[in-house]
Chain A
Protein backbone atom coordinates (compact mmCIF):
# COMPACT_ATOMS: atom_id res chain seq x y z
CA UNK A 1 0.00 0.00 0.00
CA UNK A 2 1.47 3.29 -1.12
CA UNK A 3 0.49 6.51 0.65
CA UNK A 4 0.41 10.01 -0.81
CA UNK A 5 3.49 10.82 1.24
CA UNK A 6 5.41 7.93 -0.33
CA UNK A 7 4.47 9.14 -3.79
CA UNK A 8 5.61 12.66 -2.92
CA UNK A 9 8.93 11.34 -1.60
CA UNK A 10 9.53 9.30 -4.75
CA UNK A 11 8.51 12.21 -6.96
CA UNK A 12 11.08 14.50 -5.32
CA UNK A 13 13.79 11.83 -5.28
CA UNK A 14 13.15 11.07 -8.92
CA UNK A 15 13.48 14.73 -9.89
CA UNK A 16 16.95 14.91 -8.31
CA UNK A 17 18.35 11.60 -7.03
CA UNK A 18 21.63 13.18 -5.89
CA UNK A 19 20.12 15.51 -3.30
CA UNK A 20 21.03 14.76 0.31
CA UNK A 21 18.56 13.37 2.86
CA UNK A 22 18.50 16.61 4.90
CA UNK A 23 17.81 18.68 1.73
CA UNK A 24 15.08 16.33 0.65
CA UNK A 25 13.54 16.32 4.13
CA UNK A 26 13.58 20.10 4.12
CA UNK A 27 11.82 20.26 0.78
CA UNK A 28 9.15 17.81 1.93
CA UNK A 29 8.80 19.47 5.38
CA UNK A 30 9.66 16.21 7.13
CA UNK A 31 12.21 15.42 9.81
CA UNK A 32 15.23 13.52 8.45
CA UNK A 33 14.48 10.55 10.71
CA UNK A 34 10.89 10.30 9.44
CA UNK A 35 12.09 10.55 5.83
CA UNK A 36 14.78 7.91 6.38
CA UNK A 37 12.18 5.57 7.90
CA UNK A 38 9.80 5.97 4.94
CA UNK A 39 12.58 5.46 2.40
CA UNK A 40 13.68 2.30 4.27
CA UNK A 41 10.09 1.04 4.09
CA UNK A 42 9.94 1.68 0.35
CA UNK A 43 13.17 -0.29 -0.02
CA UNK A 44 11.90 -3.18 2.11
CA UNK A 45 8.70 -3.33 0.04
CA UNK A 46 10.82 -3.52 -3.11
CA UNK A 47 9.27 -0.38 -4.59
CA UNK A 48 12.60 1.45 -4.52
CA UNK A 49 15.24 -1.03 -5.59
CA UNK A 50 18.16 1.37 -5.57
CA UNK A 51 19.94 4.06 -7.53
CA UNK A 52 22.06 3.60 -10.60
CA UNK A 53 24.67 5.84 -12.16
CA UNK A 54 23.82 6.72 -15.76
CA UNK A 55 26.76 6.15 -18.09
CA UNK A 56 27.10 8.48 -21.06
CA UNK A 57 28.64 6.25 -23.71
CA UNK A 58 29.22 9.19 -26.04
CA UNK A 59 31.54 10.75 -23.46
CA UNK A 60 33.43 7.45 -23.46
CA UNK A 61 33.94 7.63 -27.21
CA UNK A 62 31.02 5.51 -28.37
CA UNK A 63 29.59 7.83 -31.01
CA UNK A 64 27.33 5.32 -32.76
CA UNK A 65 24.14 3.91 -31.27
CA UNK A 66 21.83 1.64 -33.22
CA UNK A 67 18.54 0.08 -32.30
CA UNK A 68 18.21 -3.34 -33.92
CA UNK A 69 14.68 -4.70 -34.25
CA UNK A 70 14.87 -8.43 -34.67
CA UNK A 71 12.24 -10.90 -35.83
CA UNK A 72 13.02 -14.48 -34.82
CA UNK A 73 12.31 -17.79 -36.49
CA UNK A 74 9.54 -18.93 -34.16
CA UNK A 75 9.38 -22.43 -35.64
CA UNK A 76 12.40 -23.06 -33.40
CA UNK A 77 11.01 -23.61 -29.92
CA UNK A 78 14.10 -22.30 -28.12
CA UNK A 79 14.64 -19.35 -30.47
CA UNK A 80 14.10 -16.62 -27.82
CA UNK A 81 16.26 -18.24 -25.14
CA UNK A 82 19.14 -19.10 -27.44
CA UNK A 83 19.13 -15.73 -29.18
CA UNK A 84 19.10 -13.79 -25.89
CA UNK A 85 21.77 -15.97 -24.32
CA UNK A 86 24.09 -15.38 -27.28
CA UNK A 87 23.31 -11.64 -27.37
CA UNK A 88 24.40 -11.32 -23.72
CA UNK A 89 27.92 -12.31 -24.76
CA UNK A 90 28.33 -9.26 -26.99
CA UNK A 91 29.84 -6.44 -24.89
CA UNK A 92 28.55 -3.74 -27.28
CA UNK A 93 24.93 -4.75 -26.56
CA UNK A 94 23.65 -2.43 -23.81
CA UNK A 95 19.96 -3.38 -23.76
CA UNK A 96 17.92 -6.46 -24.58
CA UNK A 97 14.14 -6.11 -24.70
CA UNK A 98 11.44 -8.56 -25.76
CA UNK A 99 8.10 -7.47 -27.21
CA UNK A 100 4.61 -8.44 -28.13
CA UNK A 101 3.98 -6.99 -31.56
CA UNK A 102 5.67 -6.82 -34.91
CA UNK A 103 9.12 -6.90 -33.31
CA UNK A 104 10.26 -9.86 -31.19
CA UNK A 105 13.49 -8.59 -29.68
CA UNK A 106 15.25 -5.28 -29.70
CA UNK A 107 18.97 -4.80 -29.06
CA UNK A 108 20.68 -1.51 -28.33
CA UNK A 109 24.15 -1.65 -29.80
CA UNK A 110 26.90 0.95 -29.34
CA UNK A 111 30.15 1.36 -31.26
CA UNK A 112 33.05 3.81 -31.47
CA UNK A 113 32.46 4.68 -35.12
CA UNK A 114 30.83 3.28 -38.25
CA UNK A 115 33.80 1.03 -38.98
CA UNK A 116 33.62 -0.50 -35.53
CA UNK A 117 29.83 -0.84 -35.85
CA UNK A 118 30.14 -2.65 -39.14
CA UNK A 119 32.61 -5.07 -37.59
CA UNK A 120 30.32 -5.79 -34.60
CA UNK A 121 27.29 -6.10 -36.87
CA UNK A 122 28.92 -8.53 -39.29
CA UNK A 123 30.93 -10.69 -36.94
CA UNK A 124 28.74 -10.73 -33.83
CA UNK A 125 25.14 -9.70 -34.61
CA UNK A 126 24.51 -11.45 -37.91
CA UNK A 127 25.93 -14.66 -36.47
CA UNK A 128 23.34 -14.74 -33.65
CA UNK A 129 21.02 -17.77 -33.85
CA UNK A 130 17.45 -17.91 -35.25
CA UNK A 131 17.26 -14.45 -36.87
CA UNK A 132 14.50 -14.21 -39.48
CA UNK A 133 14.77 -10.48 -40.12
CA UNK A 134 16.60 -7.38 -38.80
CA UNK A 135 15.70 -3.71 -39.13
CA UNK A 136 18.01 -0.96 -37.94
CA UNK A 137 17.17 2.42 -36.51
CA UNK A 138 20.17 4.72 -36.29
CA UNK A 139 20.10 6.87 -33.20
CA UNK A 140 20.34 10.62 -33.95
CA UNK A 141 19.51 12.41 -30.71
CA UNK A 142 18.02 11.91 -27.30
CA UNK A 143 15.25 14.47 -26.83
CA UNK A 144 13.93 13.24 -23.48
CA UNK A 145 15.75 10.63 -21.42
CA UNK A 146 14.95 11.04 -17.73
CA UNK A 147 12.69 7.93 -17.80
CA UNK A 148 10.76 9.33 -14.86
CA UNK A 149 7.41 7.82 -13.90
CA UNK A 150 4.32 10.03 -13.55
CA UNK A 151 3.99 8.97 -9.87
Chain B
Protein backbone atom coordinates (compact mmCIF):
# COMPACT_ATOMS: atom_id res chain seq x y z
CA UNK B 1 0.00 0.00 0.00
CA UNK B 2 1.27 3.45 -0.95
CA UNK B 3 1.24 6.48 1.36
CA UNK B 4 0.14 9.74 -0.19
CA UNK B 5 0.88 13.30 0.81
CA UNK B 6 -1.21 16.33 -0.15
CA UNK B 7 0.61 16.85 -3.44
CA UNK B 8 0.15 13.20 -4.46
CA UNK B 9 -3.56 13.53 -3.77
CA UNK B 10 -3.80 16.69 -5.86
CA UNK B 11 -1.91 15.00 -8.69
CA UNK B 12 -4.21 11.97 -8.58
CA UNK B 13 -7.27 14.19 -8.62
CA UNK B 14 -5.93 16.23 -11.55
CA UNK B 15 -5.03 13.12 -13.58
CA UNK B 16 -8.41 11.52 -12.90
CA UNK B 17 -9.92 14.62 -14.50
CA UNK B 18 -7.50 14.82 -17.41
CA UNK B 19 -4.82 12.17 -17.84
CA UNK B 20 -3.20 13.87 -20.83
CA UNK B 21 -1.66 16.69 -18.75
CA UNK B 22 2.12 16.49 -18.81
CA UNK B 23 4.49 16.68 -15.85
CA UNK B 24 5.58 20.23 -16.73
CA UNK B 25 2.06 21.66 -16.67
CA UNK B 26 1.08 19.76 -13.52
CA UNK B 27 4.31 20.80 -11.80
CA UNK B 28 3.63 24.48 -12.50
CA UNK B 29 0.15 24.08 -11.04
CA UNK B 30 1.36 22.51 -7.80
CA UNK B 31 4.69 24.33 -7.42
CA UNK B 32 7.00 21.45 -8.34
CA UNK B 33 9.77 21.07 -10.87
CA UNK B 34 9.03 19.00 -13.96
CA UNK B 35 11.38 16.11 -12.93
CA UNK B 36 9.96 16.02 -9.37
CA UNK B 37 6.41 15.86 -10.75
CA UNK B 38 7.41 13.15 -13.20
CA UNK B 39 8.92 11.07 -10.35
CA UNK B 40 5.74 11.41 -8.31
CA UNK B 41 3.53 10.36 -11.25
CA UNK B 42 5.83 7.42 -11.93
CA UNK B 43 5.59 6.35 -8.29
CA UNK B 44 1.76 6.53 -8.46
CA UNK B 45 1.82 4.35 -11.56
CA UNK B 46 4.39 1.85 -10.27
CA UNK B 47 2.52 1.38 -7.00
CA UNK B 48 -0.67 0.63 -8.92
CA UNK B 49 -2.54 3.66 -7.52
CA UNK B 50 -3.02 4.72 -11.14
CA UNK B 51 -4.27 1.56 -12.81
CA UNK B 52 -4.37 2.94 -16.33
CA UNK B 53 -6.32 5.30 -18.51
CA UNK B 54 -9.79 5.40 -19.90
CA UNK B 55 -11.24 7.36 -22.79
CA UNK B 56 -14.10 9.63 -21.84
CA UNK B 57 -16.53 9.11 -24.72
CA UNK B 58 -19.99 10.54 -25.36
CA UNK B 59 -22.00 7.31 -25.58
CA UNK B 60 -25.01 8.89 -27.23
CA UNK B 61 -23.00 10.58 -29.97
CA UNK B 62 -21.51 7.16 -30.75
CA UNK B 63 -24.96 5.66 -31.06
CA UNK B 64 -25.19 3.94 -27.67
CA UNK B 65 -28.34 5.43 -26.22
CA UNK B 66 -29.09 2.89 -23.51
CA UNK B 67 -27.12 1.59 -20.52
CA UNK B 68 -28.67 -1.09 -18.34
CA UNK B 69 -27.38 -2.65 -15.15
CA UNK B 70 -28.25 -6.30 -14.73
CA UNK B 71 -28.26 -8.16 -11.45
CA UNK B 72 -27.71 -11.83 -12.23
CA UNK B 73 -28.34 -14.75 -9.92
CA UNK B 74 -26.82 -18.04 -10.97
CA UNK B 75 -29.07 -21.09 -10.98
CA UNK B 76 -26.25 -23.58 -10.63
CA UNK B 77 -23.12 -22.90 -8.61
CA UNK B 78 -19.84 -24.57 -7.83
CA UNK B 79 -16.43 -23.43 -8.99
CA UNK B 80 -16.76 -24.68 -12.57
CA UNK B 81 -20.13 -22.95 -12.89
CA UNK B 82 -18.68 -19.58 -11.87
CA UNK B 83 -15.69 -19.85 -14.19
CA UNK B 84 -17.81 -20.86 -17.18
CA UNK B 85 -20.20 -18.02 -16.56
CA UNK B 86 -17.44 -15.44 -16.09
CA UNK B 87 -15.64 -16.48 -19.25
CA UNK B 88 -18.80 -16.44 -21.37
CA UNK B 89 -20.19 -13.18 -20.01
CA UNK B 90 -16.87 -11.32 -20.39
CA UNK B 91 -16.81 -12.27 -24.09
CA UNK B 92 -20.03 -10.37 -24.88
CA UNK B 93 -18.93 -7.05 -26.43
CA UNK B 94 -21.97 -5.13 -25.13
CA UNK B 95 -21.14 -6.16 -21.55
CA UNK B 96 -18.83 -3.40 -20.34
CA UNK B 97 -18.22 -4.46 -16.76
CA UNK B 98 -18.65 -7.66 -14.78
CA UNK B 99 -18.50 -7.57 -11.00
CA UNK B 100 -18.75 -10.52 -8.68
CA UNK B 101 -20.83 -9.43 -5.68
CA UNK B 102 -22.29 -10.85 -2.47
CA UNK B 103 -25.90 -10.22 -1.58
CA UNK B 104 -29.12 -10.37 -3.53
CA UNK B 105 -27.23 -11.18 -6.76
CA UNK B 106 -24.07 -12.99 -7.72
CA UNK B 107 -23.00 -10.71 -10.56
CA UNK B 108 -23.56 -7.15 -11.56
CA UNK B 109 -23.24 -6.37 -15.29
CA UNK B 110 -23.12 -3.08 -17.10
CA UNK B 111 -24.62 -3.48 -20.57
CA UNK B 112 -24.65 -0.87 -23.31
CA UNK B 113 -26.94 -0.96 -26.35
CA UNK B 114 -28.10 1.26 -29.22
CA UNK B 115 -31.68 1.41 -27.97
CA UNK B 116 -34.18 -0.62 -25.98
CA UNK B 117 -34.86 -3.12 -28.77
CA UNK B 118 -31.12 -3.62 -29.25
CA UNK B 119 -30.88 -4.18 -25.49
CA UNK B 120 -33.66 -6.77 -25.72
CA UNK B 121 -31.66 -8.61 -28.40
CA UNK B 122 -28.53 -8.65 -26.19
CA UNK B 123 -30.56 -9.78 -23.18
CA UNK B 124 -32.42 -12.57 -24.94
CA UNK B 125 -29.81 -13.91 -27.30
CA UNK B 126 -26.65 -13.39 -25.28
CA UNK B 127 -27.29 -12.94 -21.57
CA UNK B 128 -30.23 -15.30 -21.01
CA UNK B 129 -28.41 -18.04 -22.92
CA UNK B 130 -25.31 -17.90 -20.69
CA UNK B 131 -24.41 -21.09 -18.84
CA UNK B 132 -25.99 -21.29 -15.40
CA UNK B 133 -27.91 -18.03 -15.54
CA UNK B 134 -30.92 -17.84 -13.22
CA UNK B 135 -32.89 -14.81 -12.09
CA UNK B 136 -32.06 -11.49 -13.83
CA UNK B 137 -33.06 -8.00 -12.74
CA UNK B 138 -32.69 -4.99 -15.04
CA UNK B 139 -32.41 -1.32 -14.13
CA UNK B 140 -32.08 1.30 -16.88
CA UNK B 141 -29.46 3.97 -16.15
CA UNK B 142 -30.85 7.51 -16.21
CA UNK B 143 -27.89 9.52 -14.95
CA UNK B 144 -24.40 8.86 -13.72
CA UNK B 145 -21.94 10.91 -11.75
CA UNK B 146 -18.38 9.90 -10.88
CA UNK B 147 -17.11 11.52 -7.72
CA UNK B 148 -13.44 12.24 -6.96
CA UNK B 149 -13.54 9.94 -3.92
CA UNK B 150 -11.64 10.39 -0.63
CA UNK B 151 -8.64 12.31 -2.00
Contacts and interface: CB of A to CB of B under 8 A. Distances in A.
A132 interface: no
Given A139-B99, A144-B97, A54 B53 contact: yes
Interface string B122-151: 000000000000000111111111110111
Interface residues of A, number: 58
B96 A146 contact: yes
Nearest to A59: B48
Interface string A60-93: 1110000100000000000000001000100111
B98 to A, nearest CB: 4
B: interface residue count bin: 35 or more
B64 A142 contact: no
Contact of B97 (A61, A62, A142): A142
Contacts of A49: 56-58
Contacts of A51: 18-20, 53-56
5 nearest CB pairs, A to B = A101-B139, A53-B15, A150-B93, A59-B48, A143-B98
B90 A144 contact: yes
B20 A151 contact: no
